[in-house]
Structure 1
Amino acid sequence: MTNAKISVRLKHLSRAARVLFLSCLLPLVCAPDALSSAADSPSGLKIVALGVRGGIVDGDLTAFLIHPSGDLRSLMCDAGTLGNGLLVAAKRGNLGGRTPDQTLGSDIKAFLITHAHLDHVAGMLVAATDYPGNAVYALPSTNEVLGEDYLNWAAWPNFSDRGKAPRLGSLHLRDMTPGVATPVAGTAMTATAWPLEHGGVESTAFLVQAGNSAVACLGDHGPDGASGEGRGHQLWRALAPLVRSGQLRTIITEASYADPRTESQLFGHMTPKYLIASLRDLAEEVGRPNALLGVTVIVSHVKYPVGGEAAYRKLILRQLREGNDLGVKFVVPEQGDKWDVP
């Protein structure tokens, strides 16, 4: 209805009727976005790297903040570092206008923990003293270690809802069943877990989904070995249909060391050579030409020689690019980096 037609029709109404009519109309005129918010709401996911290293820099250890576009209700995939990572991301303008305190206190609703090594959980444990109330999703083996080895009143107060009394109950440990999608409490996302092998420790790969967007976040893991039928292969077999359909275009994984490195010195980690071999396995499972063309692979958990960190990271990225025959976009991130996932 045009403004002219509205004016003509208003002339024939009483004053009270005009007030009632305008009170109903004005919210729609003044806030046109409200009419189309459902249809035009942002889609996709956002990722912010709060920690990207696997070495001795304790203010920059593995931690990725993930939330849907237009929805700040977030989860963490691992949390080796929280506070310092949020400070860095905020300084770079990558927290969506929120302060670190707001992100910790209101936005982060849950943690996905790939395994209980300290460089993947320290930030979560420390933050629990002042920012309680989060769900912790993990495979049963990981939650068992969290409860018995950390949240036991010896290593750290028991902020969980399990284990040694008194239970403070501010971290809600939730066991996941492999391959079963689980709604992430307080968010619009789901998470699905698959086990990985990390030098004798059970690690985890998480698939995070919101609508038609997905991110795979892999914890520490090594190559499958000579058989090629290990947990890495099983993961790619499960995720291949999502890559084929275009829903999964971003993978967070690790390459802790540069090549060359013998298998006996991997300690359950990857190098560029092994990572590219693993991605070729995924491409074969997808089963079409250029299967991974344009897929972004964020390579985290880089360990490095003391004093040679920058050069080591550049070396790993160069080796990845030189061996890249898949059309993958490799990224070795810096703390505070942000990505938009369609």
Structure 2
Amino acid sequence: MHSKLLRLILFCLLLLPVLGFSQSFRIVPLGVKGGIDESNLSAYMLAASGTNNYICLDAGTLYYGIQKAIDEKVFSISADQVLRRYIKGYFISHAHLDHLSGLIICSPDDTVKSIYGLKSTFETIKTHYFTWDSWANFADEGERPTLKKYSYRVLTPGIPMHVKDTWMQVDAFPLSHFNLTSTAFLVKSNDAYILYLGDTGADQVEQSHNLHNLWQLIAPLIKNKKLKAIMIETSFPNEQPNKSLFGHLTPHLLMTEMSNLATLTGQNELKGFNVIITHVKPPQDNIEKIKEQLKAENPLHLNIIFPEQGKAIDL
């Protein structure tokens, strides 16, 4: 009897990929744009597949985006319960409001959890947002009294940190975003990874090596089929002059960076590789241009994904 049961268990485990459990991550976009539409600003819930233990990568829009996901049947509980129970922590790439305002606005109704980021990001949050003049200090540091709902967890580049109440760990790496430091987060679950980049300019424009350093780091993960996707911004169409980019990418600059990555991985390794485009800036005419230009300038045959607010992506 025991041997039959063991064989049945092994058979079921072999069937898991066929039954749709081969995915490693679920991404729920709460906001996919940059710019004027405050109901749809950068925020992505991310969890290991089969769990409801999410982190939030940036938090420009939270509640409205959660409600959109409920409308799309991604979640079957109320928006406030998703906010309070499913999101286990926030990873903030930088302290610009289009990446942070949802967290600030929702803080009175949120539950105790951590905010993760670079020290420079926290300094801005502590001195400009979680102060009693501008809002209330829901964190555990900064202007008193501190309400201690959120705790700041400073990430040190190159040292992964486990995320409490999840199966994931996250490493952080600096990015150049005009006059401040943004962040890339490399998320690991079991032996699979996703790379999320906050706002960033191209190395050639920013006079930086940050993206090159990042490509060197992830090239082995791509070659070993461990990196499931890169989530990276493309804010403006190619018509935007370099002097007016303010630390952002165009389709041409993104594809230049992907070509730089290909020199480290080999071109064949990037064929069909998932690149999720974030932070497209309105108006809609510009967004359509960005989409057309990315599709037209894709010699590596990347799998370009344009996320939609509230619609889950399984990878």
Query: Is the TM-score greater than 0.5?
Result: yes
- Counterpart pick for 1:58 among 14, 22, 38: 38
1:325 and 2:305 equivalent? no
Q: SS state of the match for residue 177, structure 1?
A: coil
Identity %: 36
Paired residues for 1:104-253 under 5 Å: 104-225=83-204, 230-253=209-232
Q: How many Å apart are 1:263 and its aligned residue?
A: 1.1
Partner residue in 1 for 2:237:
258
1:77 and 2:51 equivalent? no
Distance (Å, rounded) in 1 between the aligned partners of 2:205 and 2:167? 40
Amino acid at match of 1:263: N
Distance (Å, rounded) in 1 between the aligned partners of 2:130 and 2:44? 23
Partner residue in 2 for 1:13:
none
- 1:3-61 CA distances to partner (integer Å, 9 max, x unpaired)? xxxxxxxxxxxxxxxxxxxxxxxxx9xxx98x978x95945110010000102110110
Q: SS state of the match for residue 153, structure 1?
A: coil
- Counterpart pick for 2:280 among 302, 316, 325: 302
Distance (Å, rounded) in 2 between the aligned partners of 1:229 and 1:155? 34
Distance (Å, rounded) in 2 between the aligned partners of 1:229 and 1:128? 35
Partner residue in 1 for 2:81:
102
Q: Compute the TM-score of the two structures, normalised by the length of structure 2.
A: 0.92
Q: SS state of the match for residue 128, structure 1?
A: helix
Amino acid at match of 1:168: L
- Counterpart pick for 1:48 among 6, 21, 28: 28
Distance (Å, rounded) in 2 between the aligned partners of 1:226 and 1:281? 14
Partner residue in 2 for 1:285:
264
Distance (Å, rounded) in 2 between the aligned partners of 1:227 and 1:72? 38
Q: How many Å apart are 1:259 and its aligned residue?
A: 0.9
Partner residue in 1 for 2:313:
339
Distance verdict in 2 for CA 1:319–1:245, change over 3 Å: same
Distance verdict in 2 for CA 1:199–1:228, change over 3 Å: closer
Amino acid at match of 2:296: E
Distance (Å, rounded) in 1 between the aligned partners of 2:277 and 2:106? 26
Amino acid at match of 1:220: D
Amino acid at match of 1:313: I
Q: For the Cα contact (< 8 Å) 2:158–2:171, is it kept in 1?
A: yes
Alignment: residue pair count: 307
Q: For the Cα contact (< 8 Å) 2:193–2:228, is it kept in 1?
A: yes
Partner residue in 2 for 1:12:
none
Q: CA RMSD in A?
A: 2.3
Q: Structure 1 stretches of 5 or more lacking a match?
A: 3-27
Q: For the Cα contact (< 8 Å) 1:317–1:331, is it kept in 2?
A: no
Distance (Å, rounded) in 2 between the aligned partners of 1:185 and 1:198? 29
Q: SS state of the match for residue 290, structure 1?
A: helix
Q: SS state of the match for residue 240, structure 1?
A: helix
Q: Structure 2 stretches of 5 or more lacking a match?
A: none
Distance (Å, rounded) in 2 between the aligned partners of 1:55 and 1:121? 13
Q: How many Å apart are 1:285 and its aligned residue?
A: 1.7
Distance (Å, rounded) in 2 between the aligned partners of 1:212 and 1:250? 14
Distance (Å, rounded) in 2 between the aligned partners of 1:331 and 1:301? 13
Q: Compute the TM-score of the two structures, normalised by the length of structure 1.
A: 0.85
Q: SS state of the match for residue 301, structure 2?
A: coil
Q: How many Å apart are 1:337 and its aligned residue?
A: 2.1
Q: For the Cα contact (< 8 Å) 2:205–2:242, is it kept in 1?
A: no
Distance (Å, rounded) in 1 between the aligned partners of 2:165 and 2:123? 23
